[in-house]
Structure 1
Amino acid sequence: MKSFHTDHNPSAVEFGGNNFDDDGREERTGTVITASAHIITAVIGSGVLSLAWAIAQLGWVAGTVLLVTFAVINYFTSTMLADCYRCPDTGKRNYNYMDVVRAYLGGWKVKLCGFAQYGSLVGITIGYTITASISLVAIGKANCFHHKGHDAKCSVSNYPLMAAFGIIQIVLSQIHNFHKLSFLSIIATVMSFSYASIGIGLAVASLASGKVGKTDLTGTVVGVDVTGADKIWRSFQAAGDIAFSYAFSVVLVEIQDTLRSSPPENKVMKIASLAGVSTTTGFYVLCGCIGYAAFGNQAPGDFLTDFGFYEPYWLIDFANACIAVHLIAAYQVFSQPIFLFVEKKCNKAWPESSFITQEHLVNIPLLGKCRINFLRLVWRTTYVMLLTIVAMIFPFFNAILGLIGALTFWPLTVYFPVEMHISQRKVEKYSMRWIGLKLLVLVCLIVSLLAAVGSIVGLISSVKTYKPFNNLD
């Protein structure tokens, strides 16, 4: 086992070579393909399969319009954020979202950004642990339903599956930085295309067989499908789900920091954002609209794990396995910024500590030479274990995740990119462009607040029916 100390940044040295950028950090090798893969991994989650439910609450008109509108808004603000990666005067790179906000806005807004970003990342990783276990449970239940009948009581425990997911994440968390995640994101992209395509295919097959649900221009009907109050809260929640389903600003700067310096990172990032958002929108519209056409106003929250389809069971199994694999990779995309943030702080506070700075080259059978750092090993393992335990204790956390999304969407996806764009381009106050941008910020704030209210109502309902450590029936 070989070991040596790194400089101020533990990721700055590459074993066996001198692959550095001009600022002493590890050489970046990212391209438009890897960036697009990261974006698709971050954006397309299993939530794509719940968009039929969202369209059912809003109806054909509002649902479809919101899907397209928020795609445009997310792409528009992502281009603003991409332009802020380098400081205009010095050309200095900003390695993460907080650095960008510090460079352009400063003050208390930096802390607000950090709180929103890292709070969101922690929440998402807990939610992924729960969602992956639900998909794996669905595999067991699909097999049970196939052999015992669709009315059988099939009970499967998701806690061992959460523990297994956590063990896998402990291993993958030792990938030392964001730059090394490209292969995971490419796998995740293939998986997301697979299960989304299966969902679309099953919905099309249902339509072709004549099993068409009752749909409406305005969605669920008050007094028939839902009560008046439920219609309001569910519509708020559905609008929020659609708005947040495109949001990748929380990791955009970290993705951009993996790109080569030539061609310019902002230009490549804009192309990758367009590719990612366009691809995502296509799948969202197909899954949401075709799913709504198939199930109508009774669309389930997720038609693969809530068993909108029972057969062919092997295809349902494969789709849910794809979801689990996708979430394994996506977990790392959202965890790496937290890992690097804490490690950077520790490195700055205790630069002489060998526990923190020393890297070890270990020869592992089948894997070859791997980099091991004791801080990374202990801290990342502890992080994954704690979040897995939280997921086990609060399996209704996905309801909380909706609230976190509502609270963080506005500052990270809209407010900060717009404010930094105004500062960077020196947009004249009260000009038409300034007024338009401020109106965009206001409208998105209203959507976030309404979605937060809807999420709180949904959370209260989840807590009322919560039974700790029960199997999923």
Structure 2
Amino acid sequence: MKRTGNQWTAFAHIITAVIGSGVLSLAWSVAQLGWIAGPIILLCFASVTLTSAFLLCNCYKSTDQQGNMNITHSHGSYLEAVQSILGNRKAWICGIFVWINSIKLGIVYTITFALSISAIRKSNCYHDEGHKAECQLSNTIYMIIFGSVQVLLSQIPDFRSTKWLSIAAALMSFIYSSIGSGLSLAKVIDNGEIKGGIGGWPSPNAAKKVWPVAQALGNIAFAFPFSIIILEIQDTLKEPTEKATMKKASTMAVWTSTFFYLCCGGLGYAAFGTETPGNLLAGFGFYEPYWLLDFANACIAVQLCGGYQVFSQPFYAIIEKWLRKKLPQSRLFVGDYNLTLNKHLLAFRLSFLRVIFRTSYVAVITGIAILFPYFNQVVGFAGAITFWPIVVYFPVEMYLKQKKIESWTTKKIVLRTYTYVCLMVILFAFVGSIRALIIARFS
């Protein structure tokens, strides 16, 4: 297929992936960490994500020697690169984390969509009946609606075909992040003071302070989740400058998203202090102007529809490729069928494999989201569970193997130290997030 992508389409894909539901929990995360640690940790995670992007860009192509010839291979997916560079055993391990990553993002996006649509109805209820009115609504029906929408969008054939969806979703990301920051700034001005403190949310003892901090780290980790699709994005770019283009797009996208994160997280904490909600736009720290809050949550809903597909399409491709290899003689699963309803309309390419597998997958994700509808806790757990292997470990290992960096060299020592430090931080976040999720589920 002709590769027509450029720096701006890559930027749109990354922004769609990065500025998602994770930004909504950042004010709460900064509230746990305080004015010094909060922004510093956000910048640290941004730096780790950008480092991962650069390492993966270098892994897009590899060269094998066959006889007297050097054969260059392009890796169109994260898992394909791991298999080619690190071997089948690590590819199997990586495949498990890719599977978990796709599932966790689907769950969080489903929960967030339901909260955003529910928030629209609640804000209108509070506007009509007062801020103390009983406006509690069930989110289950909205999760089912989101699942139904994703069943339809999942019939998009492949990642390349999501360009238009990413551009629309990226625009929505900028809009609702700007609204969240603007509303927070307006509340700070209205309060006449900057709330919050250097140490973050005060706690009566160390134990009660430690676990929210751990969960906050998980929430921040979730806010930078695009390493898994870097190679898919790079595979859409025009040759022969796709590597340089990808690095420029990654740099632009990471620092743009970090600017919005600092605005949303910092201004949200400044506005609410110890009362910072877990979800900045659906937690009802804001009530007015209700129409602007409605518009922001509508933008979130649209962005989540695109973000779900950006992350799910690579996973769909992996599973469907495997199924086609296992069932090569099955015309039902292997073949595509062109359906034309009218000669004046475009034909639609139907695949029974896509219909059956993707519909089943979305149904399972929706069911899990209904069982665990806890936004803040699920975001923390989701951020911690796959961040280290996908963003840190595999990119470093592929880079070391491909560049043939010898042991005890300065570069290898630095990269190994970087890997282990990140592991310790994420293990701490993982334990705290698991604890918070268990308490939420059984309390």
1:441 and 2:419 matched: yes
1:255 to 218, 233, 258: 233
Aligned: 1:113 with 2:90: no
User: Which residue matches 1:291?
Assistant: 268
Aligned match of 1:207 in 188, 194, 201?
A: 188
Cross-structure match for 1:30 = 5
Matches of 1:240 and 1:395, distance apart in 2: 17
Hey, what's the Cα distance between the residues in 1 that align with 2:144 and 2:379?
20
Aligned to 1:65: 40
Shift of 1:409: 0.6
Partner of 1:430: 408
The amino acid across from 1:96 in the alignment is S
Identity of aligned residues (%): 46
List aligned pairs for 1:357-376, cutoff 5 A: 357-364=334-341, 368-376=346-354
CA drift of 1:298 comes to: 2.2
Q: Secondary structure at the match of 2:73?
A: coil
**Distance (Å, rounded) in 2 between the aligned partners of 1:50 and 1:387:** 21
CA distance in 2, matches of 1:364, 1:299: 52
> Counterparts of 2:186 and 2:374 in 1: how far apart (Å)?
32
RMSD (Å), alpha carbons: 1.7
Q: Residues 318 and 391 of structure 1: is their aligned pair in 2 closer, same or farther, counting only changes over 3 Å?
A: same
> After superposition, where does 1:306-345 map in structure 2 within 5 Å?
306-345=283-322
- Three-state SS of the structure 1 residue aligned to 2:62 is coil
Alignment of 1:220 with 2:198, yes or no, is no
| Structure 1: distance between partners of 2:218 and 2:140 | 29
Q: Is the 8 A contact 2:234 2:242 kept in 1?
A: yes
Amino acid aligned to 1:426: K
Residue 216 of structure 1 deviates from its aligned partner by 1.1
Distance 1:74 1:181, change over 3 A: same
Q: Deviations over 1:206-238 (max 9, x none)?
A: 112235453111111233xxx432210111111
Q: State yes or no: 1:405 paired with 2:365.
A: no
Q: Is contact 1:173-1:380 (8 Å) kept?
A: yes
Cα distance, 1:72 vs structure 2 = 1.3
Instruction: State the secondary structure of the residue aligned to 2:179.
Output: helix
Shift of 1:367: 6.2
The equivalent of 2:82 in structure 1 is 101
- Distance between the aligned counterparts of 1:250 and 1:211, measured in 2? 43
Partner of 1:125: 106
Q: Deviations over 1:359-402 (max 9, x none)?
A: 22222479632111111122212221222222223323763453
Q: 1:266 aligns with which of 227, 235, 243?
A: 243
Aligned equivalents of 1:61, 1:397: Cα separation in 2: 25
What is the one-letter code of the residue matched to 1:420?
A: M
* CA distance in structure 2 between the aligned counterparts of 1:44 and 1:81, rounded to whole angstroms: 20
The total of aligned residue pairs comes to 436
Match of 2:258 among 273, 281, 292: 281
- Given candidates 241, 249, 272, the residue that maps to 2:219 is 241
* 2:144 equivalent to 1:163: yes
Q: Name 2:67's counterpart in structure 1.
A: none
Aligned-partner Cα distance in 1 for 2:221–2:351: 39
Q: Does structure 1 retain, via aligned residues, the 8 Å contact 2:216–2:380?
A: no
TM-score (norm 2): 0.94
Q: Is the 8 A contact 1:127 1:398 kept in 2?
A: no
Q: Which amino acid aligns with 2:414?
A: G
Contact 1:56/1:296 (<8 A) preserved: yes
Report if the CA contact (8 A) 1:58-1:219 is conserved.
yes
Shift of 1:189: 0.5
Instruction: Note the residue ranges of structure 2 that are not aligned, 5 or more in a row.
Output: 65-70
Q: Distance in 1 between matches of 2:254 and 2:381?
A: 23
For the residues of structure 2 that align with 1:391 and 1:66, how far apart are their CA atoms? 29
SS of 1:168's partner is helix
Rounded to whole Å, the distance in 1 between the matches of 2:33 and 2:376 is: 21
Q: Residues 13-24 of structure 1: matches in 2 within 5 Å?
A: none
Q: Distance in 2 between matches of 1:341 and 1:413?
A: 19
| Structure with more helix by fraction | 2
Q: Which runs of 5 or more structure 1 residues have no equivalent in the other structure? A: 1-25, 466-473
Alignment partner, residue 462 of structure 1: 440
Q: TM-score normalized by structure 1?
A: 0.89
CA contact 1:47–1:302 (8 Å) conserved in 2: no
Q: Secondary structure at the match of 2:274?
A: helix
**Cα distance in 1, alignment partners of residues 128 and 77 from structure 2:** 51
Residues 50, 401 of structure 1: alpha-carbon distance in 2 compared, 3 angstrom cutoff? closer
1:172 counterpart residue number: 153
Q: Which deviations, in whole Å up to 9, do the C-alpha atoms of 1:291-325 show, x marking residues without a partner? A: 11111132111121000100000111000011111
